[in-house]
Structure 1
Amino acid sequence: MSFSSFHLYFDDLELGQEWTSGGRTVTDADIVNFAGFSGDFNPIHIDHEFAKGTPFRRPIAHGFAVFCIASGLGIIAPPVRTIAMLRVGVWNFHLPVFIGDTIHNVSRVKEKTLRGRGRRGEILWQRSIINQDGKVVQDGEVITLVECRTPAREAATQESAPAPASTNRPV
Structure 2
Amino acid sequence: MTMQTTERWFEDYEVGESRLSTGRTITETDVVMHAGQTGDFFPHHMDAEWAATQPIGARIAHGTLIMSVAVGMTAGDINPCSMSYGYDRVRFIKPVFIGDTITVTAEITEKADHAKRPDAFGYVHERVTVTNQRHETVLVLTHVYLVNKRAAL
Aligned pairs (5 A) from 1:1-171: 4=5, 6-76=6-76, 79=77, 81=79, 83-115=82-114, 116-149=117-150, 151=151, 154=153
CA contact (8 A) 1:80 1:146 kept: no
Query: Which of 106-115 and 23-32 deviates more?
Result: 106-115
CA RMSD of aligned residues (A): 2.1
Higher relative contact order (CA 8 A, sep 6+): 2
TM-score (normalizing by structure 1): 0.78
Pair member with larger Rg: 1
Structure 2 residue matching 1:69: 3-state secondary structure: helix
State the aligned residue count.
Answer: 149
Identity %: 31
CA contact (8 A) 1:9 1:80 kept: no
- Please list every run of 5 or more consecutive structure 1 residues that lacks an aligned counterpart in the other structure: 155-171
CA contact (8 A) 1:20 1:106 kept: yes
TM-score (normalizing by structure 2): 0.86
CA contact (8 A) 2:45 2:62 kept: yes
Structure 2 residue matching 1:146: 3-state secondary structure: strand
Q: How far off its partner does 1:49 sit?
A: 1.1
Whole-Å separation in 2 of the counterparts to 1:28 and 1:51: 15
